[in-house]
Amino acid sequence: MPDKIHLTVATVVESDGRYLLVRETPLDRQVINQPAGHVEPGESLLDAAVRETLEETGWSVRITGFIGFSQHTVALSGITYYRASFVGEAESWDECAVIDTDIDSVVWLSMADIEQQCNSLRSPMVLDCIRLYLQGHIYPLSMFLTSQ
């Protein structure tokens, strides 16, 4: 059963009312997601969020807050995703960055655009964490304890 549990991170990056998102096509259906991915062994959640955002979008971000943990089980596969969602502040974009091959495109969408495409979201967690962000539901990063 442990192979059906996945620890992932995601970032909500907002600039001028638009959110940094990716279009990807898992299982032959294009979906919209935040920059997100799996935490690698030995990697902190914050480092994973920064790395995944860069690898999927070419944007370097500074993590400024924690939105929360969420969970979603995919009905078809039975895989449960545990997701730590962070607020990221866009710092710089590398136009020469090599984007993960799983990513179809990088887009900045308004909340209205995202809500119009809610049937195309990778999971309900995408819209849920943006709504929490908009409500100011953000915890300080000091809550993360790391031992060396």
State residue 81's pLDDT score. 83
148 falls within a domain: no
Contact 86, 11 (CB under 8 A): yes
84 falls within a domain: yes
pTM to 2 decimal places: 0.91
When divided into structural domains, the chain yields a total of 1
Instruction: Between 114 and 27, name the one with better pLDDT.
Output: 114
pLDDT band, residue 3 (cuts 50/70/90)? low
State residue 147's pLDDT score. 56
Mean per-residue pLDDT, 44-68: 97
The CATH number of residue 72's host domain is 3.90.79.10
pLDDT band, residue 1 (cuts 50/70/90)? very low
CA gap 76, 49 in Å, rounded: 26
Q: Mind listing the pLDDT tens digit for each residue in 92-144? A: 999 999 999 999 999 999 999 999 998 999 988 899 999 999 999 999 999 98
Q: What counts of helices (H) and strands (E) characterise the chain? A: 3, 7
**Token pair of 44, please?**
């902190």
Mean per-residue pLDDT, 30-49: 95
146 falls within a domain: no
Burial of 42 from C-beta contacts in 10 A (0-12 / 13-18 / 19+): exposed
Q: What is the DSSP letter of 39?
A: P
83 falls within a domain: yes
User: Where in the sequence is the domain holding 58, given as residue range(s)?
Assistant: 2-139
Instruction: Between 7 and 48, name the one with better pLDDT.
Output: 48
